[in-house]
Chains A and B, each alone.
Chain A
Amino acid sequence: MSHHIVEVTDLTHTYPDGTMAVRGISFRIHHGESVAVVGANGAGKSTLLLHLNGYLTPQHGSVRIGDFPLTKATVQDIRKTVGMIFQDPDDQLFMPTVYDDVAFGPLNLGLPPEEVEIRVQDALVRTAVAHLRERPPYKLSGGEKRAVAIATVLAMTPDILVMDEPSSNLDPRARRTLIELLAGFHHTKIIATHDLDMVLDLCERTIVIHEGTIMADGPTLDIFNDMELLARSHLEKPFRLQGCPICSGELSR
């Protein structure tokens, strides 16, 4: 299947103030793959993500989502294929109730009311928040907001999910629920995050970005065991892969 492929070739982006956020990034993500994009603050992750849903169009190089190259003409089709989950759910939940918010996308697609109803219910059940249907978004907890934000994207039935820091600001239980939820999806997933332990759970492949370029691209475990690479990219080995200081006796004595 070619239509779930994400291909970025030699992408460059310079902001109006002269900051070169992305300098020649290339990668290819296949159907059903789950890929983590990691890197220090300001490494260019967010700028890269903004290209994947057509908010920014390539200044140099190209982005292909499935069968379409990303241009101004194809951006509408691309947004149907790529579901974007934002870092702050408050930005994503702008409608008066959870129901209205999840129905917003399907209604914009021009679907008939019965179909909208089915899609909304389906998305809310998949993210286990069907009981919040009539609640206003500002009354929800952080974990609930995140789940609803994911439901708003699922209701569009995208093939590719792009997430910016999905586990930020969540308590450990909500984070675990989120990881289990995401693990159940068969979409192509691209996750930008600092939560490397979550990457171990969800992504078989990791792309490390440093100062706008790709430092490494390979199997997650290989990358997280390369201490020198992690240090150069301002990262650290995930806690789970570090020896426990209490068991090994380093802390107790």
Chain B
Amino acid sequence: MAKIESAFFDLSYLDALARRNTCIHRLDPRIKVIATAVFVICVVSFHKYAISAMLPFALVLVLVMGLAEVPASYVARKLLIVSPFAVMVGIFNPLLDHQPLMQLGPIVISGGWISFFSILLRFSLTVSAVLLLIASTGFNAVCMAMVKLGMPRIFAVQLLMLYRYIFVLVDEGIRIHQARALRSFQKRGLSMKTFSHLVGQLLLRTLDRAQRIHLAMLCRGFDGTIRIQRVFTITKGDLFFLANCCTVLFLLRYFDLPLYIGRLLTRLLS
């Protein structure tokens, strides 16, 4: 159970990070959402063998991470947890694509391996960018910003409710699990059969709670729409940040910086 419990504390930690006050935190959430979207689009639009051209984007991330005071170890740990998905996506590339593209001494590297690493790099960059967005803005503010940018309200409400009650649900799950663990000696009570009963129990409790929450909402005049009052103001500083950010990202996208530096160095050396 240690795993679920620690994941739970990790979520609270993400919230704690979002409450800090740095120059990145103070930016308008909408600006950050747009900047993150531009970043993600730039990264995924590279051709499939790109590796070196994407590296400067990592620098941008590191810079923002430093400014927002988000610990790199935290982001790295999260990346590691979700990395199996990216590995699954790219794992067959080396088997399917044998075209040799590169030679490092005696080792020939096929296109498949390069596109596999390219996928891993893309995954790391985009996931860390989104994590950084949430760690410097807060989940709720990101949702509200997306509503202001035109996301249908119903999605935002779903996400906000999910985020609100995941803590209650995990708590309840942990209690049920502890109650079982305390009375199942030498793993005798830990079979799949009891597990399915537990999950059913959790579902019933959740339905009951949902009914009570709905009642509580009705009591306070709920009529189908959730209204949230939030005033976001975009300052000149915000626009300046966005303009600079987009310029840098587009430049990095269209000019292969590592290639130019490499050429320059080889010319200097030769």
Contacts and interface: CB of A to CB of B under 8 A. Distances in A.
A92 B215 CA distance: 9
Interface stretch (B65-73, B216-224, B238-246): B216-224
B213 A91 contact: yes
Interface string B194-220: 000000000000000100110111111
From A94, A103, A136, residue with most partner B Cβ within 10 Å: A94
Contact of A79 (B209, B221, B226): B221
Nearest to B215: A55
Contacts of A95: 160, 164, 228
Interface stretch (A64-72, A106-114, A175-183, A228-236): A106-114
A80 B164 CA distance: 26
B140 A97 contact: yes
A237 to B, nearest CB: 32
A143 interface: no
Contacts of A86: 212, 215-216
Contacts of A84: 216, 219
Contact of B164 (A79, A96, A105): A96
Nearest to B231: A113
A41 interface: no
Contact of A94 (B217, B221, B227): B217
Nearest to A99: B229
Contacts of A96: 139-140, 160, 163-164
A83 B215 CA distance: 12
Interface string A56-96: 00000000000000000000100110011010101110111
A53 interface: yes
B161 interface: yes
Contacts of A152: 220
A156 B213 CA distance: 17
B229 A108 contact: no
A108 B221 contact: yes
Q: Interface of chain B, helix or strand or loop or mixed?
A: helix
Contact of A138 (B167, B215, B217, B228): B167
Contacts of A80: 221
Q: Interface of chain A, helix or strand or loop or mixed?
A: helix
Contacts of A91: 209, 212-213, 215-216
A16 to B, nearest CB: 14
Contacts, number: 75
Contacts of A94: 161, 164-165, 213, 216-217
B168 A90 contact: yes
A109 B221 contact: yes
Interface residues of B, number: 27
Nearest to B221: A108
Given A55-B215, A88-B212, A113-B229, A138 B168 contact: yes
A51 to B, nearest CB: 13
Nearest to A82: B219
Interface string B128-151: 000000000001100000000000
A128 B212 CA distance: 26
Contact of B220 (A105, A116, A136, A138): A105
B33 to A, nearest CB: 17
From B12, B223, B227, residue with most partner A Cβ within 10 Å: B227
A109 B227 CA distance: 11
Contact of B219 (A53, A88, A90): A53
A107 B229 contact: yes
Contacts of A139: 12, 15
A136 B165 CA distance: 11
B227 A92 contact: no
A166 interface: no
A92 B12 CA distance: 21
Nearest to A113: B229
A107 B163 CA distance: 22
A137 B164 CA distance: 8
A212 to B, nearest CB: 21
A95 B221 CA distance: 14
From B139, B163, B218, B221, residue with most partner A Cβ within 10 Å: B221
From B216, B217, B226, B227, residue with most partner A Cβ within 10 Å: B216
Contacts of B220: 79, 104-105, 108, 152-153, 156
Interface of A: 53, 55, 76, 79-80, 83-84, 86, 88, 90-92, 94-97, 100, 103-105, 107-109, 113, 116, 136-139, 152-153, 156
Given A90-B168, A138-B168, A139-B15, 6 more contacts: A91-B212, A96-B139, A108-B227, A116-B229, A153-B220, A156-B221
10 contacts: A55-B218, A86-B216, A96-B164, A97-B140, A100-B228, A103-B228, A104-B217, A107-B227, A116-B229, A139-B12
